[in-house]
Structure 1
Amino acid sequence: TRAYDVGGAISLLALNGLFILIHQHNLEYPDFYRKLYGLLDPSVFHVKYRARFFHLADLFLSSSHLPAYLVAAFAKRLSRLALTAPPEALLMVLPFICNLLRRHPACRVLVHRPLGHELDADPYDPEEEDPAKSRALESSLWELQALQQHYHPEVSQAASVINQALSVPEVSIAPLLELTAFEVFERDLKKKGQGSVPL
């Protein structure tokens, strides 16, 4: 666990090693998901190992046996961070969040809360380091609603997926992991170039 304390890519590699020991050799390490949760900060969308991080996070959160409060905390933290993320990161993280909701139907209450449960303020505590104490499951993913008004049309469309019933098969995030700002810009130029040129 000392390797985790180094920070950055070293922390991620340390968690990957721990994950292998937990799943293949039945190692008991109760702080695993707390440590992963601690790595989620605004810089995660800008680091050079972003693709590796989200690939491993997807793997770590793939079990359907994870408690709903834990998955809700990850979905909420990612949604909150998404408010300041660049478009190329949003095009990957929004399907990632939706996949979490697909895997864990108990977390869909974050999007479709029963009537009569109006919130005056968001109960989620973004400063809490322990996902169990973050109160994410009592909150909602209002951030995804806000992102539906994003200036980039692809981001707005990706955030609008939560307005419909989520499809059963997950959306593969693999092709989106390495997406760069340049690639998003190139796609936008190609779309604009296909229309007629105004005179």
Structure 2
Amino acid sequence: MVQQANAQALMVMLKLVPTALLQVHAEEFKSRTLRTVSDCCMSNDIGVRQAGLRALGFSLAASLEASAAEEDVAMQVQLLARSFKLDLAEDRVLAANVACYVASQLKFRDSSGAPPKWLLSFVGLIASATKDKNLNVCAAAEEAIVSLCRIGTHGGDKNEVYSLCLNCLDPGKRNLLEEVVGRLKKQSWTQFWLRGPLDIDNTIMEA
């Protein structure tokens, strides 16, 4: 219980004051924070593991917002990828929800040139998750694709992340992404966008 409480506390801090834990000029402290998140994500205790995964979502979103070094972002995307391989479907659903949250926070500032490798990994990861053997994982991964590509929003047809990644993915992932996006565009996502960004924090925050 103590380890789970610590993991939840770390998650809340990464949500509310991420720069205090991930500031560029405190390299040792940042590394320790990310190492703790990684340890929690791979814990044998489901409570610790899922609190760590939620913390990873806030950490990754904050790293992207702060334009963190690509290697830091890539390491966190790799950790998310490992979570999609966990045996428990509940873990994989949460991993897809975390990916959806990260996708909703993504603001790609440079649409010129090749996309960063972590972005290709992230896109390929959630595209592959739409083929998970568990239907709940598939549904959550589809929402992550909707969030990433802004499907159903004004201007979504010209989404720069989708366009940028499409020609840079390997043929298998590219075909999969095209198939999934084409299918999702035929559905209505009004309710998805009305509910607002997904909050992956499952704790009760006091006003």
Give TM-score scaled by structure 2 length.
0.49
Which of the residues 128, 136, 148 maps onto 2:130?
148
Instruction: Give the match for residue 192 of structure 1.
Output: none
Which of the residues 72, 93, 96 maps onto 1:94?
96
1:38-187 to 2 correspondences below 5 Å: 38=35, 39-40=37-38, 43-44=42-43, 46-63=45-62, 64-67=65-68, 69=70, 70-106=72-108, 136-137=118-119, 139-164=121-146, 165-166=149-150, 169-175=196-202
Distance, in Å, in 1 between the alignment partners of 2:34 and 2:125 is 18
Distance, in Å, in 1 between the alignment partners of 2:58 and 2:145 is 26
Equivalenced residues, count: 146
Higher helix share: 2
Cα RMSD of the aligned pairs, angstroms, is: 4.5
Range with bigger deviation, 150-159 or 44-53: 44-53
Higher relative contact order (CA 8 A, sep 6+): 1
Q: What whole-Å deviation, never above 9, does each CA across 1:145-164 have from its counterpart, x for those lacking one?
A: 22211121111111122443
Query: Which structure 2 residue ranges, 5 or more long, are not aligned?
Result: 151-192
Report if the CA contact (8 A) 2:101-2:197 is conserved. Answer: yes
Distance, in Å, in 2 between the alignment partners of 1:155 and 1:23 is 33
Instruction: Give the match for residue 30 of structure 1.
Output: 27
Quote how far apart the aligned CAs of 1:49 are.
1.9
Check 1:44–1:14 CA distance in 2 against 1; reply closer, same or farther (3 A cut): same
Report if the CA contact (8 A) 1:145-1:159 is conserved. Answer: yes
Report if the CA contact (8 A) 1:94-1:158 is conserved. Answer: yes
Give TM-score scaled by structure 1 length.
0.50
Distance, in Å, in 2 between the alignment partners of 1:37 and 1:27 is 13
Check 1:99–1:108 CA distance in 2 against 1; reply closer, same or farther (3 A cut): farther
Check 1:53–1:142 CA distance in 2 against 1; reply closer, same or farther (3 A cut): same
Distance, in Å, in 2 between the alignment partners of 1:108 and 1:95 is 26
Distance, in Å, in 2 between the alignment partners of 1:107 and 1:27 is 20
Q: What whole-Å deviation, never above 9, does each CA across 1:5-59 have from its counterpart, x for those lacking one?
A: xxx669858968x977x739x9952133433433426634744323433444445
1:11-30 to 2 correspondences below 5 Å: 12=7, 23=20, 29-30=26-27
